[in-house]
Structure 1
């Protein structure tokens, strides 16, 4: 099958958490750079739990890209702080004068039961994942809006949909990313900004470090590599991709969509009482006639349009 090569010539991409090897962010950076994008490789060089220092981090990936003939610079700022996010975007602007693509890949995942995780680790996980996405998207937004083009690829996790013992805060933050993305997808439409979510699974340093060896062996046996995920991220980042507000998963070369839905439920009943709720809930849990939520909140956004002219408060 002959397909025209999709390229990113003239585009500038920022990819956070891209310094691990093997790692998802690194694979995204290498692929985009190989197709012509200029890449800011951001990474703090810390371990999967957000502590310590590992390897050469971002600079090592930059050297890989340059050795292959691509253009890249390293950045060591934190996505968890507003000023850090602004500094990451500034790296792109100072080096190449623009930002077209943002892949929010940075993350940490300390393992701890809900009643045992420290307050500080709760703040760190929410800070890197949910707040990191918020700060990074806000930092990139005005520049993308000014050029009427932008691609935001926000990284969630299957854990957000399924739940996982010892990862309650991580799951909460990752699901928050879905709500954030679906909302800014609606707002970004008039600015040429597309925003989507990807929940990837792959053999990475993080999973090798944190999960049982059997899981690593399974991923390797099934070909669940970071390189098999990278093309999906690259497509969501490409100018030809018109999707927005979608949630996709990618593992081993397979792609699926995750979507929210409503069951048929019950008819409005003004006589509903505490005693009749159990029967109503039983009917509500019947998924046979479920229908999907709208992909974008345009129907809500139309209602809110008059409020766009309301003066903003500081």
Structure 2
């Protein structure tokens, strides 16, 4: 089945450069009408420039697609409302949102200012609340929506000096777990992309020469874009999935649970008992991916398939 988004409208934030630009171009290539949002600031969030967003719009139009630029601030509740309203006012609908915009203020926790913490949380995690809150009524009304958030292994696994960024990115996993439940009844799928690519934000993080032409090819943002296009498409029928994507590799990252060690709750155990059972309590050989407190992911989708006949 071909992946197509003909007639659909997608909002992509941070789409003026790097990964967001690659997403916007690929979505347009697959038939989507794209709201290209970009505040146009520096990597650390200073400044404002409408040029990057408009340049991507020009590229999409030159290729025969439809797009419109938006220079709103994703950390602003009001600006996120305006960019979603722009999509609806322009094309009469909104089908998918890619919450991709981000900034970096990397510093170790003992040197991190409150401003550095708040700014990164605002742009990354509050962005997702802002966009979901404003998009949800539209998605519910049309009984369809795709919501994709750009997380990072910096939060899901960890990266030195990125406590603010990692906390925001890991927070998206928790948000996805709740929104997948709230959205399922209305055919709203919520998924994560954890990309790795050579962009201006990662130029100094890869540990290699940012001007290396080979690196620019193998870590190009265009390697990540197909995953995002699929997650935004009607062909994607699963929710609550985190996909890691980079040049040469796609994989899945998941929070899992195990069966653990059970005991009679009428008997109280002490720390010595806990320590003695540590290896069994932490053993992941029987791990599974939960869907909710009541079901595993496998049980949930099996029941859903059976109900659909």
Deviation at 1:215, TM superposition (A): 6.7
Q: In the alignment, which residue of structure 1 is the partner of 2:187? A: 192
Q: Which runs of 5+ in 1 are unaligned?
A: 301-314
3-state secondary structure, aligned to 1:194? strand
Q: In the alignment, which residue of structure 2 is the partner of 1:285? A: 282
Q: Which runs of 5+ in 2 are unaligned?
A: 297-309
Q: In the alignment, which residue of structure 1 is the partner of 2:220? A: 225
Q: In the alignment, which residue of structure 2 is the partner of 1:180? A: 175
Specify which of 36, 49, 54 is matched with residue 41 of structure 1.
36
TM-score (norm 2): 0.89
Maintained 8 Å contact 2:257/2:290: no
Change (3 A) 1:212 1:280: same
Maintained 8 Å contact 1:36/1:70: yes
Distance in structure 1 (CA, Å) of the matches to 2:236 and 2:222: 20
Does residue 1:78 correspond to 2:78, yes or no? no
TM-score (norm 1): 0.87
Q: In the alignment, which residue of structure 2 is the partner of 1:153? A: 148
Q: In the alignment, which residue of structure 2 is the partner of 1:137? A: 132
Deviation at 1:235, TM superposition (A): 0.5
Deviations 1:101-121 (A, max 9, x none): 100101111111111111112
Distance in structure 1 (CA, Å) of the matches to 2:291 and 2:244: 16
Change (3 A) 1:225 1:295: farther
Alignment RMSD (CA, Å): 2.1
Distance in structure 2 (CA, Å) of the matches to 1:177 and 1:123: 16
Deviations 1:48-78 (A, max 9, x none): 2112357822111111111111111110111
Kindly report which structure 2 residues correspond to 1:9-24, keeping only aligned pairs within 5 A, or say none. 9-20=6-17, 23-24=18-19
Distance in structure 2 (CA, Å) of the matches to 1:227 and 1:147: 31
Change (3 A) 1:219 1:276: farther
Kindly report which structure 2 residues correspond to 1:63-142, keeping only aligned pairs within 5 A, or say none. 63-142=58-137
Q: In the alignment, which residue of structure 1 is the partner of 2:291? A: 295
Change (3 A) 1:295 1:255: farther
Does residue 1:167 correspond to 2:142, yes or no? no
Maintained 8 Å contact 2:198/2:216: no
3-state secondary structure, aligned to 2:260? coil
Maintained 8 Å contact 1:185/1:296: no
Number of aligned pairs? 294
